[in-house]
């Protein structure tokens, strides 16, 4: 699912390459389609970095953010407790914010 969303966002940006990074708010995507596409591509790049550091955090983030699973569905899918899923979500968001601030 992540790849489908990212590929669509990249295709929307092909005619508008200005090379600017955008700030990310993991809770809400911007209303502008151009900004949304840039943000999704940026999150994808950050997730690649996170996956190299901790693949488990990356998987939890993908399930919740890109696939739209609930926390319980993610826990069931990944064989985790609900509380572990919630902790990993919080860790993933914090790690992505840190990686974004370094970019």
Where along the chain do its domains lie?
A: 2-102
| 1-5, 48-52, 85-89: segment of lowest average pLDDT | 1-5
Per-position b or e across 42-66, b if 16+ CB within 10 A of its CB? bbbebbeebeeeeeebbbbbbbbbb
pLDDT higher at 18 or 31? 31
Q: pLDDT tens digits for 58-103?
A: 999 999 988 889 999 999 999 999 999 999 999 999 999 999 998 7
* Domain 2-102 part of CATH 1.10.10: yes
Q: Whole-model pTM above 0.75? A: no
């Amino acid at each position: 699912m992540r790849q489908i969303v990212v590929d669509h966002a990249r295709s929307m940006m092909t005619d508008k390459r200005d090379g600017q990074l955008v700030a990310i708010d993991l809770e809400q995507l911007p209303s502008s389609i151009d900004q949304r596409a840039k943000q999704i591509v940026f999150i994808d790049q950050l997730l690649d970095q996170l996956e190299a550091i901790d693949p488990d955090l990356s998987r939890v983030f993908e399930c919740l953010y890109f696939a739209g699973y609930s926390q319980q569905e993610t826990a069931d899918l990944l064989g985790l407790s609900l509380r572990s899923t919630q902790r990993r979500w919080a860790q993933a968001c914090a790690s992505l914010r840190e990686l974004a601030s370094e970019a």
